Chains A and B, each alone.
Chain A
C-alpha cells in the first residue's frame, strides 16, 4: 500500500504518470519509451515474450474533462484499453499487472481479456464507468490465479519434502 500511495502521489504531482512512475519494474518501461507522438501520446513497448503488456499509450495533452489524458494498454495481439477516469485505481492496477508479469516466470503469457474502446478525448460517461468495472471484474481472476499459484507451489514443495522423507524407507534388492 505504501507503494500505491507513492504512485498516487507521483500521479497527482506530475502530469505524466508513466514518465514519473519510474519505480521498480515500471522504470524499465520508462527506459523503453518511444518517441512522442504529435497528439501527445507516448509509447512504451516491450517484446511480447518478455512481458504480457506489449505497449502502453498515454495521451497527455487532451483538454477535456479528463485532463489527465487516456491510457490504452495492449497485451500482445489482444488489446486492453483503459480510460484513466480513476486516478488512484489505475496506477495501482497497472503497477500490479506489470510487477506480476515481470516477476513471475511462469505466468507471462496470460492476458486480461478486456476490450474497451473509446474515442480520443471523449469525456467521462456511464459507458466508461462500465468499462472500468469490466476492467476490475476481469482483473480479479488474475489476482485469484496468482494466489492460487502461490498456494499450489507451496503445497507442491510440502509434498516433495514428504516424498523425500518417504524415500528414507529403503527397499532392498531382496524385496524387489
Chain B
C-alpha cells in the first residue's frame, strides 16, 4: 500500500490534472485501447478514427470488413457531444443519439446496439456476427481441433 500511495503521490505531483493524465474521461486513452485489444483477441482488427465533423464523436473501423462479413457502423460519442448533436439537429431528447457511449448500426441503418459504455457488449455483438452463436462456435472448434490433432499426429511421427 505504501508503494501505491507513493506512486499516486508522484503522479499527482508531476501533473496538475491527474484525472486527465490517467486517461479517465478520455476514451482514446481509456476505453478504446481496451476495446481494440478485446476485439483483437477474437480475431477482429479495429481502429479508431475521430469524427471530423463532430467533436466528441469517434468511429470504430473494423478492418477487412468484407472478409469478416461484419458490415456495421460503430460509433462512440461522449454524453456532452451527443447532447450538442441532439440540440443542433433538433432530435428528440429520448432518441438514442442523445446518450453517449457506443452505438452500433447495421448497413441499413438499423440499430443493433443502443448507446452503451459497456465495451464488452460491443465485443459480444461483433463476436456473434463474426462467428455465430455458442453452438456454432463450438462446432467450429471441434472441427478445428480434429484437424489440429491430425496435423500433430504427423508431426509426432516425423
Question: B-contacting residues of A (Cβ < 8 Å)?
Answer: 3, 24, 96, 99-100, 103-106, 146, 149-150, 153-154, 156-157, 159-164, 166-171, 174-176
Contacts and interface: CB of A to CB of B under 8 A. Distances in A.
Contacts, number: 91
Given A103-B151, A167-B137, A176-B114, 6 more contacts: A146-B154, A150-B152, A164-B138, A169-B121, A170-B124, A176-B112
A157 B150 contact: no
13 contacts: A99-B154, A104-B150, A146-B151, A146-B154, A156-B144, A157-B144, A159-B41, A159-B43, A161-B141, A163-B127, A164-B134, A169-B121, A171-B124
Interface residues of B, number: 37
B20 interface: no
Nearest to B150: A103
**B interface, over-half SS:** helix
A163 to B, nearest CB: 4
A3 B158 contact: yes
Contacts of B134: 164, 167
B147 A166 contact: no
A154 B113 contact: no
B68 to A, nearest CB: 12
Interface centre among A156, A163, A164 (most CB of B within 10 A): A163
Nearest to A149: B151
B42 A171 contact: no
B116 interface: yes
